[in-house]
Amino acid sequence: MKKDLLMWDETIFKDPDLFELDHIPEYFAHRDTQMQTLMYCVKPALRGGRPVNVQCIGSPGTGKTTGVNKLFEEIEKVKSKVIPVYINCQANSTRFTVFSRIFKKLFNHSPPSSGVSFQKIYEKITQHLADEEKVLVVALDDVNYLFHEGEHDKVFYSLLRAHETNPGARIGVISILSDTGTGFHLDPKVESVFLPEEIKFPRYNTDEIRDILDNRIKMGFFPDVVSSEVLEASVEYAELLGDLRVGIDLLKRSGLSAERRANRTISLDDVNGAYESSKLVHLTYLLKSLKKEEKTLLELILDLAEITTGELYKAFHEKTGLGYTRYYETLEKLLVLKLVDTNFTGKGTRGRSRIIKLRYGIEELRKRLG
């Protein structure tokens, strides 16, 4: 057996967790200003007051989620009355599910899924905060999804006006918003009490990407697995798409590719081959967040290729039994998520008939939809 080949039970990964996209790294560099502002906004809560509300805004892969999770890790270490609750709005996109997550954090069990009103859950949460003199800091990540579902005003209103129904309840909100959703607006009544401190997360520059990826390589791979040439190629690809997650995912896939060849080093071919999958890492996460009827509608568009909105509704109704209103809302969601486009055909009533086109390749979508 050649020395440069891996044995079947050997690996080039020293710590594979470092290449998982939901991993919260020890080394979180180049976001000092943002972290200082986050800490400043939460500081009043550590003294028993209400925190300053925050809106974190920036492109995907710029450290927004990691920054908030690092802040929450620090809060959890301190014996204080502050209770941080992180909520992913992709998975929890209604007021009931958002407050169910808060309930679970406070009481260590979920509320009943049926037979209990939202008001009962809400009152129990606010009363607990008042009785225990605790301050709640709620991070709403991917808050765009609350807007897609039309739940944004209800969620924000319930959180921000809790002190009006229960004077002892103190709640602060950290909203994490992708800058692809900057067209979203809260109701003026909600906005007047939200008044957030806006924290911008710019895209990482070349040197910053290189530094972060280099650190992951040193901590996550064994020595001499990744050459400077491979690092530079990974940096270039991540910068090209302006998304650090692409670079991290690229290193993981490149490493797995090298292992498949029983090789102890990652080659440029491994990186170039992995890029086709890594460049669409955001798509995988997007499709995972879709609800059942949204996946059904997207699958119909895949099967029927270019189709008018009217023809698609017929197919959707036959498959699900759902009416036009739900169909229209579901189609609008796919449009907002930029999975599909619609173009006017010039036909139909006053030339307003629309044809639906996919924005990604059929096979790329199929393999991610499972």
pLDDT classification of 183: cutoffs 50, 70, 90: low
The three-state secondary structure class of 157 is helix
| End-to-end CA, the chain | 38
Is beta strand 54-58 parallel, antiparallel or unpaired with respect to 197-201? parallel
Distance (Å, whole) CA 232 – CA 247: 10
Question: Smallest Cα–Cα separation from 68: which of 50, 51, 89, 85?
Answer: 85
- The pLDDT value given to residue 350: 43
- The pLDDT value given to residue 324: 92
User: pLDDT, tens digit, for every residue of 231-273?
Assistant: 999 999 999 988 999 999 999 999 999 999 999 999 999 999 9
Answer whether residue 349 shows pLDDT above 50.
Answer: no
pLDDT classification of 165: cutoffs 50, 70, 90: confident
Cα atoms found within 13 Å of the Cα of residue 59, Cβ hemisphere only: 14
Distance (Å, whole) CA 335 – CA 359: 10
Distance (Å, whole) CA 277 – CA 255: 14
With 0-12 CB in 10 A as exposed, 13-18 as middle and 19+ as buried, what is 144?
buried
- The pLDDT value given to residue 64: 96
Choice among 46-55, 171-180, 302-311, 342-351 with the minimum mean pLDDT: 342-351
Residue linked to tokens 């967790």: 17
Q: What percent of the chain has pLDDT over 70?
A: 95
HEC-encoded secondary structure of 58-110? ECCCCCHHHHHHHHHHHHHHCCCCEEEEEEECCCCCCHHHHHHHHHHHHHCCC
Question: Would you list the DSSP string of 255-286?
Answer: HHHHHHTTBSS--HHHHHHHHHHHTTHHHHHH
Distance (Å, whole) CA 370 – CA 368: 5
> Is 251:220 a contact under the CB 8 Å cutoff?
yes
In the chain, what are the domains?
A: 32-201 (3.40.50.300), 204-284 (1.10.8.60), 291-369 (1.10.10.10)
Answer whether residue 139 shows pLDDT above 50.
Answer: yes
- In Å, how far are 12, 20, 27, 130, 250 from 16, measured between CA atoms? 9, 7, 15, 43, 13
Distance (Å, whole) CA 251 – CA 234: 7
User: pLDDT, tens digit, for every residue of 94-119?
Assistant: 999 999 999 999 999 999 877 789 99
Answer whether residue 347 shows pLDDT above 60.
Answer: no
Distance (Å, whole) CA 332 – CA 334: 5
Answer whether residue 62 shows pLDDT above 90.
Answer: yes
Is beta strand 354-358 parallel, antiparallel or unpaired with respect to 340-344? antiparallel
- The pLDDT value given to residue 68: 98
> Is 12:6 a contact under the CB 8 Å cutoff?
yes
